[in-house]
Amino acid sequence: MLAFFVHRLGQALVVMFVISLLSFSIQDNLGDPLRELVGQSVSEAERQQLREAMGLNDPFVNQYGRFLKKALQGDLGDSYFFKRPALGVILEKLPATLELVLGATLIILLLSVPVGVYCAINPRSWFSKLMMGVSIVGISIPVFLTAIMLIYLFSIHLGWLPSFGRGETLLIWGGYETGLLTADGLRHLLLPSIALSSIMLPLFIRLIRSEMMEVLEQEYIRFAWARGLKRQRIWFLHALKNTLLPVITVGGVQIGTMIAYTILTERVFQWPGMGFLFLEAVNRVDTPLIIAYLIVVGLIFVVTNTLVDLIYGLVNPTVRLTRGNA
């Protein structure tokens, strides 16, 4: 287990190193920090002097080293637009995005497991067939269209739910703003979460269904029937356990996709999260902010993937043998 752990950790570090290298080369090639700093009215000689003083003429490795050292201390430069540390600007928006992901994850978990299991147990019932049909339509509708449709139906047509923003938020410890504790915040969260979950939900229903159907065919389940165990016990204890194993791995990969989709959802709902901020930063060519977003999102990806792999290694020991030696 320890070897597996070290192996995964090493891989995570390599990935973070590559991300930092990429981020740095973006910073190096995108926009001119000097122009952002002093504007147009400074003479060429003074510019050269400043360049030298800021170390912009140093070799790549030295500059990268400096970037890395600062980055490790949490300093990713000041946002050109906000004139504040870029990392701080990003982290302020992190709660909004996390709450959106949390909302969507809850919807997915609460719906996909029961529906998926039902469809696997009763593959011939009309409800299962309906769900399979609905899910393939669901997979074919892009997230941003679901979002637009939800706004059109529930905000414009029926006027039940708000169409943009986070609503009322509460400040809890350490500058963490949450919309989960106010009724208004929850009302605002509902549509974006549904929109975000809309593409994963059918995917997970189909995945759980097919995995469970495969598991139900296996010898140990037949043996359990032969032993005369109760149906519920076979379905929900023996079969479900092994069904959820591959679901964990897919879930880990899907977290990355989900964060990408938050950008789309946040744009449609003007949700003040990281993705929305990132799109604004791209339009303003706010390089430090773009970099900060890359690094924060990269870190989220790497941490969740490593955690998922470790959890998977814990619950399924066979993985450690095959993968640890790879």
Q: From the CB of 239, what's the least distance to other proteins, in Å?
A: 17
The C-alpha atoms of residue 183 and residue 193 are separated, in whole angstroms, by 15
Contact 185, 168 (CB under 8 A): yes
Report how many residues bind other proteins under the rule CB under 8 A: 45
Q: From the CB of 134, what's the least distance to other proteins, in Å?
A: 12
Q: From the CB of 192, what's the least distance to other proteins, in Å?
A: 15
* SS3 state of residue 167: coil
Contact 195, 146 (CB under 8 A): yes
Cα dihedral sign for 254, 257, 259, 261? negative
The C-alpha atoms of residue 64 and residue 200 are separated, in whole angstroms, by 38
Q: Identify which of residues 27 and 169 has a Cβ nearer to other proteins in the complex.
A: 27
Which listed range, 96-104, 170-178, 228-236, 274-282, lies at the site for other proteins (CB under 8 A)?
A: 274-282
User: Which amino acid makes up residue 275?
Assistant: G
- Number of alpha carbons in the 13 Å side-chain half-sphere of residue 99: 26
- Per-residue binding letters, 98-137, with other proteins (x by CB under 8 A): --------------------------------------xx
Say whether residue 141 binds other proteins (CB under 8 A). yes
Residue 228, Ramachandran bin (φ over 0: left; ψ between -120 and 50: alpha; else beta): left
Say whether residue 278 binds other proteins (CB under 8 A). yes
Contact 114, 201 (CB under 8 A): no
Selected binder of other proteins within 60, 152, 160, 236 (CB under 8 A): 152
The C-alpha atoms of residue 208 and residue 243 are separated, in whole angstroms, by 7
Say whether residue 11 binds other proteins (CB under 8 A). yes
The phi, psi pair for 170, rounded to 5°, reads -115, 145
The C-alpha atoms of residue 114 and residue 110 are separated, in whole angstroms, by 7
User: Which amino acid makes up residue 45?
Assistant: A
- Per-residue binding letters, 285-314, with other proteins (x by CB under 8 A): x-x--x---x--xx--x---x---------
Selected binder of other proteins within 53, 61, 72, 156 (CB under 8 A): 156
Which listed range, 77-85, 118-126, 234-242, 253-261, lies at the site for other proteins (CB under 8 A)?
A: 253-261
Say whether residue 269 binds other proteins (CB under 8 A). no
Binding site residues, other proteins, CB under 8 A:
11, 15, 26, 29-31, 136-137, 139-145, 148, 151-152, 156, 163, 246, 249, 252-253, 256-257, 259-261, 263-264, 267-268, 278-279, 282, 285, 287, 290, 294, 297-298, 301, 305, 326
